[in-house]
Amino acid sequence: MENKVRAIFDEAACDIGRCSAEANGSIARMAEALIACFEQGGKVLICGNGGSAAEAQHFAAEFVNKISTFRKALPALALTTDSSALTSIGNDLAFEDIFSRQVEALGSRGDILWGLSTSGRSANVIKAFSAAQAAGLTRIAFCGKPGSDLEARADISLTVLSGSTARIQEVHLVAGHALCELVEQHYCKKDQTA
């Protein structure tokens, strides 16, 4: 069992290291887009399913509160948390509409939609990207599986090359923390110079 634990950690470290080597430019562009959005009075909407839904909530909380240092609170909403909206949309329309309907209601030109999907094929996240494009939102995606529909619809994407859902989510978590830290550092520097 100890060898299996070591193998899991080694695999995660390998996937995280590969992402750092291959995707740091994408992460930097995402951070720049988020900073520009917040500077212009916009907000970020975040969505995903299952573990990606949990990460959507996690990242929204990092923007609204902090990742390590208190600074200006930043407007971020996880579209995964309003059980009444999710269940009414899912019941009255379809499960694939649960995020797109919220994007239609809450998204404005200049905002960002951040979608997470380990497969890159989540129909509700893809439909939300279509709604975001129609409304003039920038679309950033965290995916697994290169060449996915979600990756193709994103303005900026991070795609994790792994066959394991758990490893993909672990890389997404590290990359999301990197994004939050870059944005937070911008606002901490801005507060120091104000």
Domains of the chain: 2-193 (3.40.50.10490)
pLDDT of residue 190: 74
Q: What's the Cα-to-Cα distance from 156 to each of 27, 32, 70, rounded to whole Å?
A: 9, 11, 28
pLDDT of residue 171: 95
How would residue 21 be classed by pLDDT, with cut points 50, 70 and 90? confident
Could you tell me how far CA 139 lies from the centroid of its own chain? Answer: 10
pLDDT of residue 77: 98
Q: What is the pLDDT of residues 68-97, one digit of tens each?
A: 999 999 999 999 999 999 999 999 999 999
Q: What is the pLDDT of residues 37-48, one digit of tens each?
A: 999 999 999 999
pTM, full prediction? 0.95
Q: What is the pLDDT of residues 159-175, one digit of tens each?
A: 998 889 999 999 999 99
Across all residues in the chain, what is the average pLDDT? 95
C-alpha span between 75 and 96 (Å, rounded): 25
pLDDT of residue 194: 60
Over residues 30-54, the mean pLDDT reads: 98
pLDDT of residue 87: 98
Over residues 12-26, the mean pLDDT reads: 88
pLDDT of residue 172: 96
Residue 79, classed as helix, strand or coil, is: coil
Q: What is the dihedral of CA 184, 187, 189, 194, to 10 degrees?
A: -160
